[in-house]
Structure 1
Amino acid sequence: MINSWAGIDDSGVAIAAARAGAAVVRGMYGQDLARIDKGAGDFATAADVAAEQAILDVLRAARPEDAVLGEEGGRQGAESAGREWLVDPLCGTLNYAVGNMVVAVNVALPDRAAAVADPFSGEVFATDGQRAWVSSADGVDTALAPTPATCLVDVNLDPPFPGAPSFRAVELLARQGFIEDFRPRVVSSSLALAWVAAGKRTAYVTDGGDLSASVHFAAGIALCRAAGCVVTGVDGGPIGAGGRGLVAAADAATHARLMELIAG
């Protein structure tokens, strides 16, 4: 049997998987979807589950020896697998469930490749670990070029808030220095990280612990790093074990200013 995936690198597989998930998300948009309660106000929809299955089908066909950690299905694959894909089939489920199109499909193979698909624009933001680019709906590739020009900073306000009381993102929005230098946005989807890498946002801030191996954030972090953004925790430390949250900024000056405001 001819292997149709022969010669396709990991970034190509990530892009194909993200596109497959995005097609499902787009196709099920606007339907009255069954919800799966996860507790604490969180839930998945039938679209989350179906999109994850479409992504898994691609990954199993292209990289059958690899393991997969999916937000909905958990870990699948051999315990001895040397590589593990991280899959968030629908980031922004609440947005999607109420008819808001600001959502993302995230697929990442840490330290090797990642793709973030916008189901409704048709764009796929991707990296092979070295380069970062966006593929348009008509297949045109453009290098990602972060810039602070927009002054738009996305701040994740979704609970839980593990940094409280020392850090609450909502308090950042009320600080005079933030108001003077930036304009806040709250999209409630890690698509905002891809927008930082693409120059559509100046920065992104979220609380949390170690997000480097998170199905929600791994793909966006990889994009920002490959595009040349400054990426640290909210304490200025590295992302990884013992890390705290995430600040992804288009340039060093923006990052430094946000660190001042967070510390204050």
Structure 2
Amino acid sequence: MTTPYARSPDVDVATAGARAGADVVRALYGRRLARVDKGAGDFATTADIESEKAILDVIRAARPDDAVLGEEGGQRGAADAARQWLVDPLCGTLNYAVGTMLVAVNVALREGPAAVADPFGGEVFCTDGETAWVRQDGADDAPLTPASATRLVDVNLDPPFPSAPGFRAADLLAHPGFTGHFRPRVVSTTLALAWVAAGRRAAYVTDGDDLSGSVHFAAGIALCRAAGCVVTGIDGALIGETTRGLVAAADAETHELLMSGIRRA
């Protein structure tokens, strides 16, 4: 196996962390797990918590001075630290809890390298911030190449809906401009962003606030950008602190078709 894309030591840290978390998620799959209620229908499981611990062990060993923002454990280290890792130990907890294997483990250095691990597919999608590739045991690294040929678009339909009534994802699915070009899929996990970067999905659409700094989306956004996808908010603006939502498309044509549907939804 060759690893020609590992140009930054931080890529190895992100990849090792994502793999460590994925090992925990895979090992605990199918067991009766305790749940921690977060309110508003959200919850964590023992797998989320143990996966985050495994990831933190990797980061602490390799980068003891870096700060970490974890989905379950919150902020560790200074929030304004020069280097901060964003960790979502189990993206797709509801899927996982009901026995669905469509989940991901996300580890991203803010404004830097990132990795998204598929615990059950055995793949780790990686970026050094400039290029993006997929790594699988026993196989050579392969570049991520976006493509819109599948016409499959993952749309996050989970509440809340902060942009309503101006934009509601469910309305997009019923718009003739959408149904005439695309076929909807609903994954509700950052795995969908990795699939956009890999050419397995034409696009991904979600609502939300400041997703670039979110433990849920930072790694997926980094992958899509490095792979050459068109990544904006639902208003078409570049992702930033004041941007709402996310549209990650394989190419400019797909992005414009989706933006047209969003504007009219």
Whether these two folds match at TM > 0.5 is yes
**Counterpart in 1 of 2:84?**
84
Per-residue deviation, residues 83-104 of structure 1 (Å, max 9, x unmatched): 1000000000000000000000
Please state how far the C-alpha of 1:119 moved relative to its aligned partner. 0.1
Relative distance call for 1:34 and 1:177 in structure 2 (3 A) is: same
User: Post-superposition shift, 1:110?
Assistant: 1.9
- Aligned match of 2:109: 109
Indicate the residue corresponding to 1:234 in structure 2: 234
Runs of 5+ unmatched residues, structure 2: 1-6
Taking the aligned partners of 2:51 and 2:241, their CA distance within structure 1 comes to: 30
User: 3-state DSSP class of the match of 1:260?
Assistant: helix
The letter for the 2-side match of 1:18 is A
C-alpha deviations, 1:44-97, integer Å up to 9, x for none?
Answer: 000000000000000000000100000000011245632100000000000000
1:9-158 counterparts in 2 under 5 A?
Answer: 9-78=9-78, 81-158=81-158
**Share of identical aligned residues, percent?**
71
Task: Tell me the SS of whatever aligns to 2:164.
Answer: coil
In structure 1, what is the equivalent of residue 4 of structure 2? none
In structure 2, relative to structure 1, the CA distance for the partners of 1:49 and 1:144 (3 Å cut) is: same
Q: Is the aligned partner of 1:222 residue 2:222? A: yes
Deviation at 1:165?
0.5
Provide the C-alpha distance between the structure 1 equivalents of 2:74 and 2:109, rounded to a whole number of angstroms.
Answer: 16
Q: Which amino acid aligns with 1:20?
A: A
Q: Deviation of residue 140 (structure 1)?
A: 2.2
Question: What is the CA–CA distance in structure 2 between the aligned matches of 1:61 and 1:218, rounded to whole Å?
Answer: 22
Tell me, which stretches of 5 or more residues in structure 1 are unaligned?
1-6
Worse overlay, 130-139 or 174-183: 130-139
Q: Distance in 2 between matches of 1:80 and 1:25?
A: 30
The answer on 1:175 being equivalent to 2:175 is: yes
Q: Separation in 2 of the partners of 1:153 and 1:66? A: 36
Code of the residue aligned with 2:92 in structure 1: it is G
Q: Distance in 2 between matches of 1:81 and 1:263?
A: 38
Read off the aligned partner of 1:135 and give its amino acid letter.
Answer: R
**Do the aligned partners of 1:65 and 1:81 also contact (CA within 8 Å) in 2?**
no
CA drift of 1:136 comes to 1.4
Q: 2:163 matched to 1:163?
A: yes
What amino acid sits opposite 1:45 in the alignment? T
Match of 1:190 in 2: 190
Q: The residue matched to 1:18 in structure 2 has which SS?
A: helix
Q: How many residues align?
A: 258
What CA distance in whole angstroms lies between the structure 2 residues aligned with 1:192 and 1:12? 22
